[in-house]
Amino acid sequence: METKLNTGRRLTLVAAALSASFATQAWGDELPSMGEDYSPWQVDVTYENHTAHREHAGLAKFRNTLQAEIDKKFGDGWKLHSILRGSWDGVYRMNSSEYGKDAGGAINMQSTTPGGYLTTPWGTGPVTYSLVAGLGYPGAAGNAFIDTYGANNPNEGMRVLGDRWHGIDGGVAFGVPVRPCDVDSRGCRDFGGYGDKTLSELEAPEFNNRLDFIRELYVKKTFDLGDGKGLFLKLGKQQVVWGRTDLFRVLDVINPVDYSRNNIYDELSDIRIPMWIAQAEYRMGASETMQDRNFQIVWNVDQFRANNLGQCGTPNVILDAGCFFRGMANLWDNGGTVANFANVAPGTLLATNFGPGQIGIKDVHLPSWSLSNTQLGAKYEGVTADGLSFSLNALTYRSQLPSLHGGKRATNSFTGAYQNAWPYLISFDMEFPRVNLIGGSMDFQLPAAGAAVRFEAAFTDGEEFSNTAREELYSKNNVFRSVIGIDRPTFIPFISETSATLISGQLFYQHIFDHEWKQGSLGPVGMPDWEDNFIGTLLIKAFLNNGTLSPQIIFAHDFQARATAVAPQVEWNVTNDLKVTFGANYKLAEGRTRWNFDDCRACNPFAPYTAPNGDADPFTSYSRGLGGMEPLGRFRAGPIGAAFKENDIFVRVNYKF
C-alpha cells in the first residue's frame, strides 16, 4: 500500500486548527494574477523506479516512470500547465511466467460427489455432448455441449478463476486465459480501456489512442468582473477534484480511476484518468454572511472512460473483476468447462463442457461520443463567517463501473434451440448506466481539540447492482454514501519530542436503498453487496530528522468483509532531489466464509434440464440460492478482501532533475 495520502492538504488544515484561526481559505492560490507578462517555459522532470515483490508471485512491479511538469505564463493573465508521463514496466519480461507471455498453464476442474471432490483436466467434462446425447430425451442429440475443445481453445495459458484468493471448494470455477492479448486473444474485449491489451501496451500503458501520456494539458485565467468578483476558466485535459477523502471516493467521481497501477493504494492524483473538461467558476467573493462564495460548472466533453479495473494476467486486478470478465467472454466465444455445475444426483455436481454462445459475456456497450453522453456538474461552495468551508454538488454522469445485464440471447445447451432471452441465464451484456448524484461536503476546525474535521455525503440515482432475485440478474438502486475524517497533530514522545505526529482517521459508510436479500431453499438469493457497510482508515505519520525522514503506517478495515490492510512505510528525503521510500502492504481476512453467495447454478434457465436434482418446481426459472465464492463473492469481499493474498514489499526511488 504505497499510500501517498494527501498529507500536505491535511497539514494545512491541522495548522489552522492549532492556531485556532478561522481565516478564509485561499481559494485562488494557484490562479493567475491579472495582467501578467510573458514568462519563460518552466519544466520540472522527475524519474521514478517502483519495484515491488509479492508473496507467492515474485516480482510484481518494475515500473520506470519519467514525468515532466510544464508551466508557461502568457500575456493577459493566461497560464498553461501540462503534465506528461510515460512509464515502462519490466515485470512482464522479468517475471513472464507470472504476468507475461508464459503465464498460466494447464488447469484442472472440480466435481463434487458424496465421497468428496474429484479433479479432472479442464476440457474433459465429465458432462459432455456424448454423455448428454446418450440420455435419450427428445432432442438430446441436438444438445450443444462439447466433447473436446479444439486448437482455438486449448488447456494452456490459463488459470482457474479466483485462484489468486480462494480455492474452488465446491463452487463455480472456469478457466481464464491470462497471457497478453497478442499472445493469446481468447476472451479479449475492450471492457473500457482494459481487457484487450497487448504486451507492449501493458508495459507502456500511457501510450495509447487516448493519449494517456498527456496527464494534464490545460489553460486557465481569471477574468476580473469588478467589485471583487471574477470568472475563472480552466480548459483542457485535467482532473477536477470534488472530494476531500483518500483511498475511497464519495463526491470525487468526475474523473475515472486507473486501479491497474496499484489497486486503491496510490494517491488519487496519480491514478485519476484526466479528461477533456471545460471548467468555469464564478467567484462572487464575500457577502454579509459569507467570507467567500463560488459557483462552478464542469462540463466533461470527453468520450466516456470507465475505471480501469486491470486486465487479467496483470499484477493489479481490483476485485479480480478483469479475470471474471475475460473468462466469461471466453466462455461465450469458445465455450469452456465449468466446475461443479450439473446437479445430476443428490450431493453430486459435475464439471460441464459448455459450447460457445451459451453462457458468458457477449457485447460490451461502451457509450459512444455524443452530446447526450457528455457529463455535466455544478458546485456551489463557500466559507461562512465562522470559517466553515462547505460545498453543494450535483452531477449527471455515466457510471464508471460496469453493470452486467443477464438473461440475454443464447443457445439452449440441452436442445440446441436459440432464443433472444432466457430469464436468469448467465448470458450477459456489459452496460454503463446513467447516474445522477447530489451531495455536499464541509470541513472545519475544532480548536479545543486541535483537530480538523472533513465530511462528505452523496446520494445517487441510477446505479446498478448484481441481483439474482431478478430475471435480468441486476437491479437499479439508489445509494447513499458518506465519510467523516478527523485530522490531528499529536505530540507522541516515544516517536518524536520535537515534532508532531499526524493522526488521521476516516470512516466511510454506504447504504443501498431497496436492498433485496432473501433465503432460498439452497442459500441466500438477491444482492451480494451489503445493504449497509462501513470502511475505516487510520493514518499515523511522523516527521523526523528535520522532516527528512517520515515513517508512517496505515490501517484500512472493511467491517462487513472483515478484511484489513496494513501498510507501513518509511519515506527518506536523501537530498532535495532524491527521495527513497521503503514499505509493505499486508492484508488480513477473517470473514471469508461470509463471502459465499448465490452463483445461479440453481436458477434453472433451461427448465427443466437445469433444475436441481429433486426440485419441487423443475419447470420454473428462479434462483434457489446454491452458491460459492464465484462470481459474486468478490462484491462481499471488497477490494481489500479480494486481494488478501497479495502481500507486497516495495522500494520506490524518485529523483528530480
Predicted confidence (pLDDT) per residue in 168-213, tens digit? 999 999 999 999 999 999 999 999 999 999 999 999 999 999 999 9
pLDDT, residue 535, reads 98
Locate 496 and state its grid cell. 518524536
| Least confident segment among 84-98, 113-127, 484-498, 501-515 | 484-498
Q: Is 533:636 a contact under the CB 8 Å cutoff?
A: no
Could you tell me whether strands 427-431 and 360-364 are parallel, antiparallel, or unpaired per DSSP bridges?
Answer: parallel
Q: How confident is the model at residue 14 (pLDDT cuts 50, 70, 90)?
A: very low
pLDDT, residue 644, reads 92
Domain contains 304:
yes
pLDDT, residue 37, reads 60
Please determine, for residue 22, whether its predicted confidence score (pLDDT) is greater than 70: no
- Mean pLDDT of the region 258-284: 95
Which amino acid belongs to residue 36? E
Give me the torsion for CA of 9, 14, 19, 21, rounded to 10°.
60
Tens digits of per-residue pLDDT, 540-575?
A: 999 999 989 999 999 999 999 999 999 999 999 999
- Mean pLDDT of the region 248-274: 94
Which amino acid belongs to residue 511? H
3-state SS class at 592: helix
Q: Any idea what DSSP says for residue 29?
A: T
pTM of the predicted model over 0.75: yes
Please name the residues in contact with 575: beta carbons below 8 A apart, sequence gap of 6 or more: none
| Measured CA angle at 155 (ends 151, 156), to 5 deg | 95
- The DSSP element (H or E) to which 300 belongs, if any, is strand 290-300
Domain contains 600:
yes
Please determine, for residue 89, whether its predicted confidence score (pLDDT) is greater than 90: yes
Q: How confident is the model at residue 19 (pLDDT cuts 50, 70, 90)?
A: very low
Please determine, for residue 339, whether its predicted confidence score (pLDDT) is greater than 80: yes
Output helix, strand, coil percentages for the chain, rounded to the nearest 5: 10, 45, 45
| Least confident segment among 21-25, 155-159, 235-239, 619-623 | 21-25
pLDDT, residue 30, reads 39
- Mean pLDDT of the region 137-158: 97
pLDDT, residue 21, reads 32
Tens digits of per-residue pLDDT, 481-520?
A: 999 999 999 999 999 888 999 999 999 999 999 999 999 9
* Angstrom distance (rounded) from CA 625 to CA 517: 11
Domain contains 313:
yes
- Cα dist. 309→192, 259, 271, 402, 655 in Å? 9, 5, 12, 10, 29
Locate 227 and state its grid cell. 467589485
Please determine, for residue 32, whether its predicted confidence score (pLDDT) is greater than 80: no
Which amino acid belongs to residue 419? Q
Provide the number of structural domains found in the chain. Answer: 1
Tens digits of per-residue pLDDT, 218-232?
A: 999 999 999 999 999
Peptide bond into 121 cis (omega under 30): no
- Mean pLDDT of the region 454-466: 98
Q: Is 144:358 a contact under the CB 8 Å cutoff?
A: yes
pLDDT, residue 388, reads 95
Please determine, for residue 31, whether its predicted confidence score (pLDDT) is greater than 50: no
Domain contains 121:
no
* Angstrom distance (rounded) from CA 113 to CA 118: 7
Domain contains 434:
yes
Query: CATH number, domain at 389?
Result: 2.40.160
pLDDT, residue 39, reads 86
CA atoms within 13 A on the CB side of 559: 12
Domain contains 147:
no
Domain that holds residue 454: 7-22+35-101+195-354+366-647
By residue count, the chain amounts to: 657
- Mean pLDDT of the region 102-128: 97
Which amino acid belongs to residue 381? E
Domain contains 169:
no
Please report, rounded to a whole number, the percentage of residues in the chain having pLDDT higher than 90. Answer: 90
Average model confidence (pLDDT) across the chain: 93
pLDDT, residue 6, reads 53
Please name the residues in contact with 584: beta carbons below 8 A apart, sequence gap of 6 or more: 1, 567, 568, 569, 647, 648, 649, 650
Q: How confident is the model at residue 9 (pLDDT cuts 50, 70, 90)?
A: very low
Tens digits of per-residue pLDDT, 569-623?
A: 999 999 999 999 999 999 999 878 899 999 999 999 999 999 999 999 999 999 9
Q: Is 205:212 a contact under the CB 8 Å cutoff?
A: yes
Locate 399 and state its grid cell. 457510471
- Cα dist. 19→12, 446, 511 in Å? 11, 10, 37
Please determine, for residue 1, whether its predicted confidence score (pLDDT) is greater than 60: no
Domain contains 96:
yes
- Mean pLDDT of the region 440-467: 96
pLDDT, residue 27, reads 34
- Mean pLDDT of the region 154-166: 97
The position carrying cell 441436438 is: 142
